């Protein structure tokens, strides 16, 4: 169906109304679906004020969340900075839900609204719907309902058990939130039918391979059965376990059902955000690439004026700016900049490959249809694998990347690798590792419980590169952990050789019960 406003400028000047937004949306949708062939959830666009944007910031971008003082603290901090004018607000917030909710600020100009709709309602939306991590770990259909349930549940608990009790529990749960995610799909418990089939197969196998000779081998003596028992108990508790919140929810002996439920809420919300943490570069890169492509197409077709396009380019350039390391503004690698640059680079490799590209990317060099390649990339990679696979030598040269090593054994810092033939792979590998959550988050696991003795919980931190945990934080978190567990807790920091570098312990002072 062709719309009657299918040509000519979408808007003039910077003012907009709801009709304008609808026109903009239709035009952007047209480009996104027909040219970029994006596959998106239905969109819902909500216009909000700056104050509401601050509200949304405070609750980690979610439209509704249970009540807790820490959100108030973040609100106060953002509010103070914003009022002083140190910080602008984001132009949009987008929520991984179905329908996909995008918040746009009322203060944006019409050009900015176009940019924001292209960026959030199509770029991010496509990524949410197609990336395998989001498909596997998040439930876009249910998240808003789940948040509403969580909010109501926490409110009911507050009413019933008192605000103080719930607040203390949430404090403890939040302290462990970073270690409350499943990184792998858990083993499914076998159902009865497959159990029966397995039993039949095993029986058949035994019959087929039956040999009288085995009977002559002496059996185990009775006294030896001690150790397997301990192993069995550990496996019953699913140890070792790196998901601390899950472990407590399932096995902490003294928690009440409502307390377990709240731990579960916090864990689920943490799990929901886990894919976002793993795909920051790709997610923002995808959205930035899409808005750039869409805006350029709109401009080429005469739907937005030259002035608007320049306004767009100005804010786009701000977003993808990457200061160099010696610049006072250098903060870190800008995920928008890196993602956008890499995706543009993939486009270049597909269309106009050099000899070098043919060696490094034989699969995609000269493939032609860069969008098909990008859609496949968006669907199947995360930051770490994306960088490891697609950061090209040319881009490393352009950005003049180098690898700096700070080894406490050496007196000085050392440049480990630079953008040359010997260095490309090492630079790329380190950069990928810096985007790998499994590498960034400390590896902490529950390894044992002294079930026969004082029920003390033992955790290990497998120390990487000799970087220990932040001492004062550990003590506080362990206190929370001990209170949840109800008994003592010990955390050993162990280096790869097995030596214990440091040991923290806590006793339950005010156990939850």
Partner 1 sequence: MYIIDRRLNAGGKSLPNRQRFLRRAKALVQRAVADKAAARGITDIDSAAEVAIPRNGIGEPRLRRASAGGFRDYVLPGNKKFLEGDTLERPPPGAGRGSEAGEGEGEDDFRFVLTRDEFLELFLDDLDLPNLAKRRVLSDESFGMRRAGYAVTGSPANLALTRTIRNSLARRVAMKRPSAAELNRLEDEIAGLAAGLPETAPEIAELRERLERLNRRTRRIPYIDPIDLRYRRFEPVPRPVTQAVMFCLMDVSGSMTEHMKDLAKRFYMLLYVFLKHRYRRVDIVFVRHTHEAKEVDEETFFNSPETGGTLVSSALLEMKRIVGERYSPSNWNIYAAQASDGDNSASDRGACTALLRDSILPVCQHFAYLEVGADDEGPRIGFAPHATTLWQTYEALAQAGSDIAMRKVNHRSEIYPVFRDLFRRRGPPIAQSAL
Question: 474-513: which residues touch partner 1 (CB under 8 A)?
Answer: 474, 476-477, 480
Q: Which two tokens stand for residue 261?
A: 């439920």
Cβ distance to partner 1 smaller for residue 74 or 348: 74
Q: Given candidates 9, 148, 230, 467, which one binds partner 1 under the rule CB under 8 A?
A: 467
Q: Given candidates 39, 302, 330, 503, which one binds partner 1 under the rule CB under 8 A?
A: 330
Cβ distance to partner 1 smaller for residue 42 or 218: 42
β partners of residue 92: 104
Q: Which two tokens stand for residue 413?
A: 């810092």
Cβ distance to partner 1 smaller for residue 275 or 423: 423
Distance (Å, whole) CA 174 – CA 46: 29
Question: Which residues 128-167 are close enough to bind partner 1 by CB under 8 A?
Answer: 163, 167
- Piece in contact with partner 1 (CB under 8 A), picked from 128-136, 273-281, 360-368, 428-436: 428-436
Residue 12 sits in the site that holds partner 1 (CB under 8 A): no
Handedness of CA 64, 67, 70, 75 (dihedral sign): positive
Cβ distance to partner 1 smaller for residue 283 or 322: 322
Distance (Å, whole) CA 44 – CA 312: 23
Cβ distance to partner 1 smaller for residue 373 or 480: 480
The least distance separating partner 1 from the CB of residue 73, rounded to whole angstroms, comes to 5
φ, ψ at 301 (rounded to 5°): -90, 10
The least distance separating partner 1 from the CB of residue 437, rounded to whole angstroms, comes to 13
Residue 502 burial by CB count (10 A; 0-12/13-18/19+): exposed, middle or buried?
middle
Question: Which residues 355-414 are close enough to bind partner 1 by CB under 8 A?
Answer: 399-408, 410-414
Distances 3 to 8, 20, 30, 302 between C-alpha atoms, Å: 12, 14, 10, 16
Cβ distance to partner 1 smaller for residue 234 or 403: 403
β partners of residue 461: 444, 493
The least distance separating partner 1 from the CB of residue 117, rounded to whole angstroms, comes to 9
The least distance separating partner 1 from the CB of residue 74, rounded to whole angstroms, comes to 9
Question: Which residues 62-121 are close enough to bind partner 1 by CB under 8 A?
Answer: 67-73, 75-77, 79-80, 83, 99, 103, 106
Question: Which residues 186-205 are close enough to bind partner 1 by CB under 8 A?
Answer: none
The least distance separating partner 1 from the CB of residue 255, rounded to whole angstroms, comes to 20
Residue 3 sits in the site that holds partner 1 (CB under 8 A): no
The least distance separating partner 1 from the CB of residue 510, rounded to whole angstroms, comes to 16
Distance (Å, whole) CA 386 – CA 284: 13
Question: Which residues 283-302 are close enough to bind partner 1 by CB under 8 A?
Answer: none
Residue 315 sits in the site that holds partner 1 (CB under 8 A): no
Residue 239 burial by CB count (10 A; 0-12/13-18/19+): exposed, middle or buried?
middle
Count of residues of this chain found to bind partner 1 when the rule CB under 8 A is applied: 97
Of residues 206, 28, 216, the one with CA closest to residue 110:
28
- Piece in contact with partner 1 (CB under 8 A), picked from 215-223, 268-276, 289-297, 330-338: 330-338
Residue 176 sits in the site that holds partner 1 (CB under 8 A): yes
Q: Given candidates 359, 438, 468, 500, which one binds partner 1 under the rule CB under 8 A?
A: 468
- SS3 for 346? helix
Cβ distance to partner 1 smaller for residue 76 or 451: 76
Cβ distance to partner 1 smaller for residue 149 or 325: 325
The least distance separating partner 1 from the CB of residue 362, rounded to whole angstroms, comes to 25
Of residues 442, 452, 451, the one with CA closest to residue 504:
442
β partners of residue 372: none
Distances 22 to 11, 16, 17, 213 between C-alpha atoms, Å: 11, 10, 9, 82
The least distance separating partner 1 from the CB of residue 395, rounded to whole angstroms, comes to 10
Residue 211 sits in the site that holds partner 1 (CB under 8 A): no
Which residues have a Cβ under 8 Å from the Cβ of 310 and sit 6 or more positions away?
Answer: none
The least distance separating partner 1 from the CB of residue 94, rounded to whole angstroms, comes to 14
- SS3 for 494? strand
Furthest C-alpha separation in the chain: 94
Residue 326 sits in the site that holds partner 1 (CB under 8 A): yes
Residue 61 sits in the site that holds partner 1 (CB under 8 A): no
Residue 182 burial by CB count (10 A; 0-12/13-18/19+): exposed, middle or buried?
middle
Q: Given candidates 59, 108, 131, 297, which one binds partner 1 under the rule CB under 8 A?
A: 59
The least distance separating partner 1 from the CB of residue 490, rounded to whole angstroms, comes to 14
**Among all chains, which residue has been given the structure tokens 């033939």?**
421
φ, ψ at 504 (rounded to 5°): -115, 145
């Amino acid at each position: 169906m062709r719309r009657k406003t299918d040509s000519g400028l979408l808007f003039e000047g910077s003012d907009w109304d709801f009709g304008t937004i609808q026109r903009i949306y239709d035009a952007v949708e047209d480009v996104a679906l027909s040219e970029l062939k994006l596959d998106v959830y239905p969109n819902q666009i909500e216009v909000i004020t700056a104050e509401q944007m601050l509200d949304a910031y405070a609750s980690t971008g979610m439209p509704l969340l249970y009540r807790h003082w820490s959100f108030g603290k973040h609100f106060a901090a953002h509010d103070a900075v914003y009022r002083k004018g140190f910080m602008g607000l984001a132009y949009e917030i987008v929520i991984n839900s179905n329908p996909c909710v995008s918040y746009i600020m009322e203060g944006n100009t019409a050009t900015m609204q176009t940019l924001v709709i292209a960026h959030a309602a199509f770029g991010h939306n496509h990524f949410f719907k197609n990336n395998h991590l989001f498909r596997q770990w998040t439930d876009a259909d249910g998240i808003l309902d789940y948040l509403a349930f969580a909010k109501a549940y926490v409110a009911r608990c507050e009413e019933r058990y008192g605000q103080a009790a719930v607040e203390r529990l949430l404090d403890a749960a939040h302290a462990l939130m970073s270690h409350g995610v499943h990184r792998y799909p858990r083993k499914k418990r076998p159902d009865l039918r497959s159990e029966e089939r397995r039993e039949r197969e095993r029986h058949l196998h035994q019959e087929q391979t039956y040999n009288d000779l085995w009977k002559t081998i002496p059996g185990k003596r009775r006294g030896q059965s001690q150790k397997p028992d301990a192993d069995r108990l550990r496996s019953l508790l699913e140890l070792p376990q790196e998901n601390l919140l899950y472990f407590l929810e399932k096995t902490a002996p003294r928690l009440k059902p409502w307390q377990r439920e709240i731990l579960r809420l916090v864990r689920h919300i943490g799990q929901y955000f886990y894919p976002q943490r793993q795909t920051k570069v790709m997610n923002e890169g995808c959205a930035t690439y899409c808005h750039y492509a869409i805006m350029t197409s709109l401009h080429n077709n005469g739907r937005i004026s030259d002035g608007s396009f320049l306004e767009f380019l100005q804010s786009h350039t701000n977003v993808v700016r990457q200061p160099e390391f010696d610049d006072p503004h250098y903060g870190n690698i800008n995920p928008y900049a890196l993602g956008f640059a890499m995706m543009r680079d993939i486009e270049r490799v597909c269309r106009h490959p050099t000899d070098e590209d043919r060696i490094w990317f034989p699969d995609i060099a000269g493939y032609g249809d860069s969008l098909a390649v990008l859609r496949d990339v968006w669907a199947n990679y995360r930051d770490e694998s994306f960088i490891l696979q697609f950061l090209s030598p040319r881009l490393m040269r352009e950005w003049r990347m180098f690898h700096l090593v700070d080894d406490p054994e050496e007196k000085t810092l050392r440049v480990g690798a630079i953008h040359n033939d010997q260095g490309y792979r090492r630079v790329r590998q380190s950069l990928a590792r810096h985007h790998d959550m499994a590498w960034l988050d400390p590896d902490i696991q529950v390894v044992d419980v002294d079930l026969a003795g004082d029920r003390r919980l033992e955790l290990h931190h497998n120390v990487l590169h000799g970087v220990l945990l932040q001492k004062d934080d550990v003590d506080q978190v362990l206190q929370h952990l001990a209170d949840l567990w109800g008994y003592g807790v010990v955390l050993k920091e162990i280096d790869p050789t097995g030596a214990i570098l440091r040991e923290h312990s806590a006793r339950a002072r005010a156990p939850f019960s």
